[in-house]
Amino acid sequence: MTLPEIESYPIPHHPEPCWKATSGLRIVPDHEPLVPVSLAPEPLKVFPAYARLGIPGAVPECFVREGVYRRLLTVARGLPPGFGLVVLDGWRPWRVQQYLFDTLFEVMRGRHPALDEAALLDRTREFVAMPSRDPRAPSPHLTGGAVDVTLCDADGLMLQMGSLFDEASPASHSDYLERLEAPDARQRRARGCRRLLYHAMCAQGFTNLPSEWWHFDHGDQLWAYYTGRSEAHYGPAELDTIEQRWKR
């Protein structure tokens, strides 16, 4: 499996988002439904990471908005032979967002006992957004517009990307490997994979959260912020239920 030419282009540095500015962007709802990614044909794969890890409230499926689903398919179909796209998480319930935030916050408190509450919040928000169901400022993953992805090989095995999914460390920053002065062979390989993932996703209109090589957005406020738009398309979303159908 050879690395394509696109992997020779470094991932550019982007500043962390200003969450106040992001949450202040207007949302003009586009009522696209949430759809299960498991419907997708090869080479798009699904591995609902949080359900597999036993996170309370996690659903055993990855749901995204229909427009995100179609873009992910285009990304997967455009990858070079021998590469596949794996969706690890998309829409998530508020309960899962709260659990992830609270858990990481407590880990940060134990690791950095000298930090005050504000600094701990900043450290936590580097990797987990504040839980919010506010229709004017929802957490990105609660909209169905945020998606966590990685690459796999022709056998479906996930490739080494330089850090683990959800690893709360500087190595998870998208451009971390670009800043190494003398990367070894393993790091160069991971850097090439990150570049491929980043450029393939961005070519289909996604934006990347700079602190997480796996996190991409389309249509939500974070996407609007990084693309310079004044409006987002996706607000909070909920799964369709039999009760809601009967009520309709």
pTM of this structure: 0.94
Distance CA 90, CA 239 (A): 12
Q: Where are the domains of the chain?
A: 5-97+132-247
Q: Which residues of 40-56 are buried (b: 16+ CB within 10 A; e: fewer)?
A: beebbbbbbbbbeeebe
Q: 120 phi and psi, to 5 degrees?
A: -65, -40
pLDDT over threshold 70, residue 2: no
Question: What is d(CA 76, CA 104) in angstroms, rounded to the nearest whole number?
Answer: 31
Annotated catalytic sites, by residue? 212
How confident is the model at residue 105, as a pLDDT? 92
The whole-number pLDDT of residue 8 equals 77
Q: Is 199 annotated as a binding residue?
A: no
Dist CA 164 CA 159 (whole Å): 10
pLDDT at residue 183 tops 80:
yes
Second CATH level (architecture) for the domain 5-97+132-247: 2-Layer Sandwich (3.30)
- Is 116 known to sit in a ligand binding site? no
* 7: pLDDT strictly greater than 80: no
Asked whether residue 148 is marked as a ligand-binding residue, the answer is yes
Does the pLDDT value for residue 4 go beyond 90?
no
